[in-house]
Amino acid sequence: MDLLAILNSIDSIVWGPPLIILLLGTGIFLSLRLGMIQVTKLPMALRLIFKAQNKGSGDVSSFRALCVALAATVGTGNIVGVATAVKLGGPGALFWMWVAAFFGMATKYAEGLLAVKYRTIDTNGEVAGGPMYYIENGLGKKWKPLAVFFALSGVLVAILGIGTFPQVNAVLDSVNVAFGVPVEYTAIIVTVLVAMITIGGLQSIARAASAIIPFMAFLYIVICLIVLAINVEQIPAAIALVIESAFTGHAAAGGFAGSTIMLAMQAGMARGMFSNESGLGSAPIVAAAAKTKWPAEQGLISMTGTFIDTLIICMMTGLTLILTGVWCGPLAGAAMTSSVYSMYFGDLGAQILTVCLVLFAFTTTLGWNYYGERCCYYLFGAKAIKVYRLLFIAAVGSTVFLHLDAIWILADIVNGLMAIPNLIALLGLSGVIVYETKKYFDHLKAKEAKK
């Protein structure tokens, strides 16, 4: 049995029914306990992105914390990941991405809330937070092995999963196809840029993310909207196909291999979490650093990350792939998405998509460098951070030697391992989440009554 077959076997076990049930079940449970907060409080959460008071202890503003979180989530999953999911699971995979994202918004809210609730100050005077801290300090010291398992998984995801290989591989391939630049040259440039920014720590990463994220999201959304507008009459049929395929599977068509309901669900859930990271436990690591005194306020701001990432950006990508019919052709990954924009904008379209993909992937790498660093600090202390940064930079530079299929499967595996301890903690601390939520909204009501 070759390495790829072994990884596929492990992936099918990790991403089998138990994890899907745990992931979706946690989101549904929290949604019900919080009164469907992702619906009732979404407008308020979107306003808070720009109007949060930024009072209280913390290292960065709530907006910059969200930008770092979006930097880590809005990445190749939005372009390559969606294409891979639709190719593997058919149009129905997009439906399951929507479902996972809808309930994942409640999960992301809970993560952001607990991150602020249980954050601490490290030996360097910086904020330290995330699942490893709310597991140990919230569930209790006897749960520390679970916190250690999360942190170890976090380091692996940063170096071997979302943080490096899939992102950099997408950059190398897309720049090579669009501009003809040899992958070795691009690898050197990306590695140097990552090293220059990440060595500066959170403040440097936050500055870069807050400058790049709004621009790249706007650019990508605009080109998606143009394609959707041109094909506006076909959108209802595309959505109907997505919903039908989610519950019936899809027969083979053209270069498409056919899919079952379970395959559509598995592909959609796995790629959906890869993209928005709800339940993964990554976003709360930076949410803990936000300048706020209200855990629930940061929870609301964190929740918008999943909405922007999956229910807007991934949805647009998926619909353009389906309504143009490229999903059942011979192409895969970034090439599939690129073919859509080449179809409408010629070479310029492919080049614009490449710029978006490069920015998406680059900022994801920056965000995950910080996540892995915080996990490394929890495990080994401040002295290990320099070693971690060197390993991370080396991983970025070595991507040029790896195979695409193995990269995505390895990323899926370590993502799943990271999610398990975090989801257990969210369920165990659901009472705290509900209490802090009520406390915050009671405060707002009292404040409004005084006016």
Predicted confidence (pLDDT) per residue in 184-220, tens digit: 898 899 889 888 888 777 677 777 777 777 887 888 8
How far is Cα 84 from Cα 172, in angstroms, rounded to an integer?
Answer: 17
How far is Cα 242 from Cα 255, in angstroms, rounded to an integer?
Answer: 18
- The better pLDDT of the pair 247, 51 is held by 247
How far is Cα 79 from Cα 101, in angstroms, rounded to an integer?
Answer: 16
How far is Cα 360 from Cα 80, in angstroms, rounded to an integer?
Answer: 11
pLDDT at site 284: 92
Tell me what the mean pLDDT of segment 434-439 comes to.
Answer: 97
pLDDT at site 195: 87
Tell me what the mean pLDDT of segment 284-306 comes to.
Answer: 89
Tell me what the mean pLDDT of segment 96-104 comes to.
Answer: 89
AA letter at 79: I
Q: Which of 106-120, 306-320, 405-419, 430-444 has the lowest mean pLDDT?
A: 405-419
CA angle in degrees (0–180, nearest 5) for 90-95-97:
100
Predicted TM-score of the model (pTM): 0.87
List, in order, residues 6 or more apart from 140 with CB less than 8 Å away: none
- Paired strand residues for 121: 127
364 near 171, Cβ under 8 Å?
Answer: no
Coil, strand or helix at 208: helix
Q: Which of 272, 265, 257, 274 is nearest to 410 (CA)?
A: 274
pLDDT at site 175: 84
- The better pLDDT of the pair 326, 1 is held by 326
pLDDT at site 431: 97
Whether pLDDT at 403 is above 90: no
Residue ranges of the domains in the chain?
Answer: 12-438
**Surface-to-core class of residue 227, CB atoms within 10 Å of its CB (0-12 exposed, 13-18 middle, 19+ buried):** buried
Query: Following DSSP, what letter does each residue of 288-338 receive, concatenated?
Result: TTBS-S-HHHHHHHHHHHHIIIIIIIIHHHHHHHHHTTGGGSS--HHHHHH
Whether pLDDT at 351 is above 70: yes
Question: Cα separations (Å) of 183 from 331, 406, 411?
Answer: 20, 18, 21
Query: For the chain, how big is the Rg over CA atoms in Å?
Result: 21
Please state, rounded to an integer, the average pLDDT across all residues of the chain.
Answer: 84
- Give the domain 12-438 fold: Amino acid/polyamine transporter I (1.20.1740)
pLDDT, tens digit, 9 for 90 and up, residues 135-157: 999 999 999 999 999 999 999 88
pLDDT, tens digit, 9 for 90 and up, residues 38-79: 999 999 998 888 776 556 566 667 677 777 667 666 666 677
How far is Cα 249 from Cα 245, in angstroms, rounded to an integer?
Answer: 5
